[in-house]
Amino acid sequence: MELGDIVLYQGRRWWVHRRDKMTRTVFLYDQKEERTELADQLDLTDPDTVKVLASPSKNWRVLTAPFKANAGPFVRFVVPGTRQTIELVPWKDWISSDPFREGGSLFVRKSVPLPPYTVVLLTHKNGDTVRVTIPAKFTTVARKKAPPPKAPEKLNRFNLIDDDD
């Protein structure tokens, strides 16, 4: 288990919040903010007990939402549509980088169809709603950090000449 992972434990989804190297444990929180502590690497030693479902910070696309003081964390993610409005399932389709903090970044599962410039509605715990536009480059953190690909070298009469002659 890594920090930020979503795991399945006791039939519920949990978020890996903290790792204690001294005691070799990890702290998990569920959506109701209940906390539990498990042995670190239990997902490897006993996969029937705990299973890593996703690593949102590594594999899911990231979306930045505005900070709104005293509004509480996001509890609802809606994609309005002309024919059908879609509500995404928290901790399955999306999760905040810190599920108990106001605003900030959210991770959205890659398989959720969100074309660029789509306006989504995010609702805070206190009921306030904010509109966020999906950016043109809606990708993972790893892709954002990756260096841009090199442009192919343009051929001209000078680089076509073989210097070995």
Domain residue limits, the chain: 6-54, 59-145
Contacts of residue 131, defined as CB under 8 A and 6 or more positions apart, other chains included, come to: 119, 120, 121, 122
What would the mean pLDDT of 35-46 be, rounded to a whole number?
Answer: 91
pLDDT tens digit sequence for 2-39:
999 999 999 999 999 999 999 999 999 998 889 999 99
d(CA 60, CA 95): 10
Is the predicted pLDDT of residue 165 greater than 60, yes or no? no
**Three-class DSSP category at 81:** coil
Backbone angles phi, psi at 121, to 5 degrees: -115, 125
* pLDDT of 160 higher than 90: no
The CATH number of domain 59-145, selected from 3.30.420, 2.60.40, 2.30.30, 3.30.70? 2.60.40
Note if the pTM is more than 0.85: no
H or E element that contains 59: helix 56-59
Contacts of 48 (CB under 8 A, 6+ apart): none
